[in-house]
Amino acid sequence: MTDILIVEGRIGAVKPVRIAIVRGTEAWLWIDAGIAGTPREFVFPELHRLGLTPPTRNLLVVTHCDVDHFGGAAELQAALPGLVVVAHHADADLIANLDRLVSARYDRFRHDGLNVPEARLAQLRTRAGSGVTAHVLVDGPMSVDIGGAGSWELVEVPGHSAGHLAVVASDRSVAFAGDAVMGWGVRDGDGNLQPPHYVDVAAYVGSIATLERMSIGILQLSHEEPLAGDALVEFFADSRRAVIEIGAAVDRAVDAAAGAGINSAGRLRRICEAVHRELGRWPDAPATALADAVMAHLAVRSRRLVTA
């Protein structure tokens, strides 16, 4: 579709972050904003190079509450007066409130002894900019018509976050899905593969299935090359396999350390280390990068024990 512009920014040395702009005749639809600095360093220079000027009406969909997806929103608001920001209600508070974001998203295992270094937390706050307040809160499917570029659907694909959204063309030719599906993981700014990050196992697996059922032509993710055809089928399969293998490894690790409570001191770290060691897929990532996925599987295990 010639009315879609993909601008690739960068985080750290090598991690790509892609901003999509769908140029309608009545408005432009922006999908994500990168980190603070992304619009200034990458997006607006590319628009200038192409001789493109944004219209008076602009709509920004924030796919979810990670800083590399909303951190540049304040810069967009400053450059585009009247920009309407759209986010899912389940993520909106974290996008607007950086203290809440840090405690609930990035440093939520401090009570389990997994403290995020202060330098990393400071970096995340910097990348988040000043946060952004959503004008429109999504709670269920929503359609967007910007004129001349087809209609678009906002689809709930939770799991990576509670309120993750995908933006899907009505003819299913393309979908922009942020980090909703992650395969075996995403490379960080230094090029090291990090484990897939999901906070709810059932929701994440359900979102993989949701996107599969749509028979999308091209899947655009924020940190991956576009996926289509057999490559897309395999990516969905890898995403499911990752969940299955991580879950099975968590069960084995818990069984091997039977006797301690899930929240006992050092428990989460030991399980992460055991899973990391057993699967061996992320040799350059710290074991604690598995904490969200491990805790999500521990929650599933706890529910099984309660209902058994």
Domain assignment present for 233:
no
What is the C-alpha to C-alpha distance for residues 11 and 114, in angstroms, rounded to an integer? 24
Q: How far apart are CA 196 and CA 198, in angstroms?
A: 6
Both structure tokens of 291: 């904490």
> What pTM was computed for the model?
0.94
Instruction: Give the residue from 195, 228, 261 where a domain finishes.
Output: 228
For residue 259, pLDDT over 80 is answered with: no
| Percent of the chain whose predicted confidence (pLDDT) is above 90 | 86
Domain boundary among 228, 254, 280: 228
Residue 1 has pLDDT above 70, yes or no: no
Work out the percent of the chain whose per-residue pLDDT is above 70: 96
What pLDDT sits at residue 307?
59
pLDDT, position 14: 87
- Checking if the pLDDT of 206 tops 60, the result is yes
Whole-number pLDDT of residue 260: 46
pLDDT in tens, 143-186: 999 998 778 999 999 999 999 999 999 999 999 999 999 999 99
**CA 153 – CA 142 distance, rounded (Å):** 6
Shared domain check, 265 and 203: no
222 with 248, same domain: the answer is: no
> Where does the pLDDT of residue 13 fall: very low under 50, low under 70, confident under 90, or very high at 90 and above?
confident
Tokens representing 161?
């976050």
Q: Which whole-number Å values give the CA distances from 267 to 56, 88, 104, in the listed order?
A: 53, 33, 20
> Do 204 and 296 reside in the same domain of the chain?
no
If asked whether residues 49 and 171 sit together in one domain, one would say yes
pLDDT at 149: 76
CA distance 16 to 299: 32
Q: Is residue 106 part of a domain?
A: yes
Structural domain harbouring 287: 238-307
Q: What is the per-residue pLDDT for 112?
A: 87
Q: What is the pLDDT of residue 61?
A: 98
How does residue 189 score in pLDDT terms, banded at 50, 70 and 90?
A: confident
